[in-house]
Amino acid sequence: ELSNIMKQHILNKTPVFGICFGHQLMAHAFGGIISENKDGSYFEGTREIEFCHDYGTIKKGKKLKVAVGHGYCVEKKPDSFVQMATSEDCTYDALRHETYPYFGVQCHPEASDYFLLNEIKNEIDPSEFPSIQNGGDQILQSFFVDVGL
């Protein structure tokens, strides 16, 4: 099972960055609960997330605009995970393991122009792409800083 393979890598201290389903998969593997979005809808487009703690180069209270596309989210975090970011739509928009090199996000920090134009069905104004991609870049860079890469 994929979740057991990834969990073992994390426990062996291999840095792992979970995106969307990967974020949900790892939360579940460590004892969290995943459920459909609050109103049963599929969240697609952009949203603002707020960091609850310092992480890498991101400071507590920092708000980032990110790309999203998901029908499920983490409803209850695992005991060994720390809530790192939240939003109106998703309580656990980002989680990290307390001791192992794992960080996961519900959003899509890897979103390219192609992804934003073709994979997100709710139209996003291309003038917003740099802001969305900057938020994703900050999240990815913070992971690299956090795990020493």
The question of whether 23 is a catalytic residue gets the answer no
Q: Which of 20, 73, 90, 107 is catalytic?
A: 20
The question of whether 20 is a catalytic residue gets the answer yes
The Cα 19–Cα 71 span in angstroms is: 14
Q: Which of 23, 70, 97, 108 is catalytic?
A: 108
Q: Which of 44, 48, 50, 110 is catalytic?
A: 110
pLDDT per position as a tens digit, 88-125? 989 999 999 999 999 999 999 999 999 999 888 778 89
Beta bridge mates, 56: none
pLDDT per position as a tens digit, 36-76? 988 888 888 899 999 999 999 999 999 999 999 898 999 99
DSSP string, 68-130: EEESEEEEE--TTEEEEEE-SS-TTSEEEESSSSEEEESS-TT--HHHHHHT-SS---GGGHH
DSSP string, 37-48: -TTS--EEEEEE
Beta bridge mates, 70: 43
